[in-house]
Amino acid sequence: MGSGTDQNYWNTHDEGVRVTIVRSQDQAPITTPVDLTNRTLPSTVLHFGKISKLDYTNGAFLTPTTTAYTCVQPAKELPYIIQSDQGQASLEEIKSYFTDELVVRYIAEITGVPYDTLINGNYKILLEPIAYITYQGVKMALTATEVALYDQALNGGLRAKFADLSHKNLPLAMFLETPDLGYPAWSGSTNSRVSNEDILSSLGLGIVRFTETPPPPPVESAADYEYRTNTEVITSVFLSTGRQITPNSPATVTFSLMGSTYTVSGIVIPEGDSQVVWCKWRTPSTPQTVTIQVISSQGVLSQARIQASIVDLDENPPPDPQATDRNDSFILPALPASSAKTSASWGVWSASWHPYWVWISNWVWFGIGNGGGYWVDYGYWKDNGWWDYHWTSYSASLSTQHTIKPSSKTPTASGSTMKSGYGVEIDTTTEVRSNAPSSHLTGAQTAVTMFPEFHYQTYWRLHERMTNGLTATFKLKPNMYSTYQSRSHFTPLWFPDGPYTPDTLIEDVWTPDGMLFLHVSGSVQISGNLYMDWRIAPQK
């Protein structure tokens, strides 16, 4: 356990598995996780709630809870989960256990999901290894993902005490051999210490699926990233090292693209760890493919060559609506399922020297006649200190205020109710909150709306960014078919009575942890059509 003590230790077989049922279609957890263990544990065990790896990946924060810790002892004992000198764990035994029909039936029972529903191919079981450790004299329950998040918060405090458990045997107890639920197959070492970033992205999970063959992997484009034209973006890589990188000889990473170079210097990383390194740049104004070369003076980069596809959304408005348009077979579509990333976290290492002075003796004998004499110590003080590394955590979150309302040129609108054929206005305010310097991120830069009359396909309208920065506002671009050049979208005359719900994507909020984005929507109520506001009468 590295430098473990009677206040910081782990005992062999103090372990368990967190079990969550996940819906395959949208990768959403549908049950509260249940912790299985062979141990009898007190309710006073400190924990962070029953949160799954998927929840943390989607932005959940690591938050200690004062609620009593609960766990279940299965009738059929768990196999050894975490490797140790006194317990030989086997990934094959773990796989065999959790695919046993009796065990699956038991999981269905304790999670409240009917067995026939669980195995119908629409659901998966997410497994996460748990370690029960004593840290600073307190008994704790931690999944591998929670270990990585907690270690980041402690500036490497867990790794310093439990390195072989926290950053090797626990996260490597379970990993994917086939990509699933958005997590990659693990191709790294299975017997070496790993970084927090590796744990968060790829380790400490197993998945039981109930289809005969795994789903095919998504088709990958030739590009590693897709950016919009004329947009400020952040391109990131991870720098890992097997030996410490110190302020005496810091690392330098250089990004080369489009004839320019961006250099990040002064990088320090403790032994066996890693750090995200990034550059912020503006994409060209025309669509193209940009190749980014990355080199480092020390350590190992996650990518040395990046292909970025620059695309132009451009304006793709629907055709000019006509009074004679018909769509008698139209069926109101459901709002499409959408993904989102509204929070990000990353960090940067720094180091300070910890002096430790020791006296180096150099005794010299001075003889005096008749065999007498004396010793003189011509020694010197030497600083045998070391570097203390400190982790500074940063985070960012994206939120919006979104309104859709009848156009100001709609004469008979009442509140949010209007007749079809008139226009709607869409206003969005986005806010990015972060404790990071401005060089670490951007505000929202792009908003695009899809419409229900086209089943949220084919056509879209871009918004114009009215104010920039971490608080940005967006309005629809002026409508070329509007007599008044209003910032509105015309609803089709034939649209049926009921809710009219456009879907707006907010994106291009860039951080070292990737892009933040989300879909927002709102509705107006359609009641009648604009023909009802017109009449024909003879001229007097």
- Write the pLDDT tens digit of every residue in 323-367: 888 888 898 999 988 889 999 999 999 999 999 999 999 999 888
Count of Cβ atoms closer than 10 Å to residue 461 Cβ: 22
Q: pLDDT tens digit string along 352-362?
A: 999 999 999 99
Q: CA distances (Å), 139 to each of 46, 52, 131, 189, 382, in order?
A: 6, 20, 10, 30, 40
Count of Cβ atoms closer than 10 Å to residue 168 Cβ: 20
Q: How far apart are CA 197 and CA 149, in angstroms?
A: 9
Closest CA to 62 of 140, 175, 161, 136: 140
Strands 305-311 and 225-228: parallel
On the question of pLDDT at 217 being above 70, the answer is no
At 230, the amino acid letter reads: N
Count of Cβ atoms closer than 10 Å to residue 364 Cβ: 10
Q: How far apart are CA 142 and CA 204, in angstroms?
A: 11
Q: How long a stretch of residues is the chain?
A: 540
Structure tokens at 363: 């005794």
Confidence of residue 187 (pLDDT cuts 50, 70, 90): confident
Least confident of 40-44, 208-212, 388-392, 510-514: 208-212
Count of Cβ atoms closer than 10 Å to residue 128 Cβ: 26
Give the CA angle between residues 517, 523, 529 to the nearest 5°. Answer: 140
Q: pLDDT tens digit string along 283-322?
A: 999 999 999 999 999 998 988 999 999 999 887 788 888 8
Span 440-464, average pLDDT: 94
Q: Are 239 and 277 in contact (CB under 8 A)?
A: yes
Q: How far apart are CA 407 and CA 67, in angstroms?
A: 50
pTM reported for the whole predicted model: 0.65
Closest CA to 401 of 375, 425, 376, 430: 430
